[in-house]
Amino acid sequence: MRLLSTIVASLGLASAASVAKTVNYSGWKVYRINVGDATAKVSDVVSSLALATWKGKVATSKVVDVMVPPSQIEQFEQLSEDLDTELMHDDLGASIAIETDFHVYAAGAAPNATWFNSYHSLADHVQYLKDLVTAYPNNAEVFVAGKTNEGRDITGIHIWGSGGKGSQKGVVWHGTVHAREWITTMVVEYAAYQLLSADTNNFKNKFDFYIIPVVNPDGFAYTQTTDRMWRKNRQSTPSTSCVGRDINRNWPNQWDQRGGASTSPCAEDYKGPSAGDGVETKVLKAHLDSVAAGKGVQMYLDFHSYSQLFMYPYGYTCSGVIPEAATYDKIAQGAVAAIKAVHGTTFQPGPICQTIYQVSGDSVDYAYQVAKAKYSITVELRDTGNNGFVLPPAQIKPSGEEMWAGLAYVLANI
């Protein structure tokens, strides 16, 4: 990884020992399995090889994307010979090397679009927010929502308009809940940059924006020093050596619904031992609640990748329908049309549970049901399976451009 020593130094909390244990994905392959009517066979292959999945639940999904280490490639190809498979990454390590070729960021530079030519270290993301505020001091300030499990700041940017800060209803945007979803960080920052540099619709005069590009700094840092594919936070769990909770299964609302999250501490979607016990969950909940207690939350949006989806409640149930379903569907349809008009990228709208899968203890249901956000939304950004989590840097700016168009449509119509 280029600039690795710089990244490690800037993270501060990363130890030399953690760097020495970096997971090497050289030679790993990533496959998409089109399940069809072969659910049992796919389940046998995935379980017998103990493969980590990027996307899809074997029992219920049409496709399952899996990582295969070099030692199991031959066996996987033999076992999956009768299955419909596609190769996503021929060498995951090589794809990661391209993605982690970070451009050097000069602290204090005037923010411009070149920021979106590459991915960046955690320290540079924090500095970028500070530089945005320096460039637009009358409309923005950096805030710290709280501390992570490992003591890092959860840093955001508050953007306001001519009425002064705190004068309008709140719009809250969260990125990088799942640590490996790097494109979400960049797209959230692209939206912040547009609000400050090119907001011709004066959205910041309508709403106060509370934007946190990296709500899971510990996990994000871990993806840059140790394991690029890490998803959860870095909080330990009593009586197990497995680390981390899925922050988006830990919110204290509709928590622990059967089928909506895993009860296993080793699982990627582990819900945690108790509702809302995640250190970062508590911070994010308290901040969202504070915005709700002020002028109220007009819009909450949680950014994820990948699958190209534009979704709304409910996540915890596939049978329940929100009273505002028709209004939400109209907004979602308009947003995906605006997104497609930019680069031709197609997003699918719909309720979370019916569109992707059941998710309990998630932030979107909490924002809708508890924080009373008028609009509570989640998106899954690019792509649909060519690159998955390791999206090439060349797609950062196009992703930001199309999603900003979708966001602009929503902000103009809520």
* Catalytic residue set: 380
Number of residues assigned to the chain: 414
Q: Which residues in 99-178 belong to E strands, given as ranges? A: 140-147, 153-159, 170-174
Tokens for 241, please give them: 């050596």
Cβ-based neighbours of 293, under 8 Å, separated by 6 or more: none
Q: Do residues 230 and 277 lie in contact, with contact meaning Cβ atoms separated by under 8 Å?
A: no
Q: Which amino acid is at 320?
A: G
CA distance 56 to 135: 42
Q: Do residues 28 and 234 lie in contact, with contact meaning Cβ atoms separated by under 8 Å?
A: no
Helix (H, G, I), strand (E, B) or coil at 88: strand
Buried b (16+ CB within 10 A) or exposed e, 326-340: eebeebbebbbebbe
CA distance 210 to 155: 10
Residue 208 backbone phi and psi in degrees, to 5 = -95, 130
Residue 89 β-bridge partners: 30
Buried b (16+ CB within 10 A) or exposed e, 80-103: beebebeebbeebbebbeebbebe
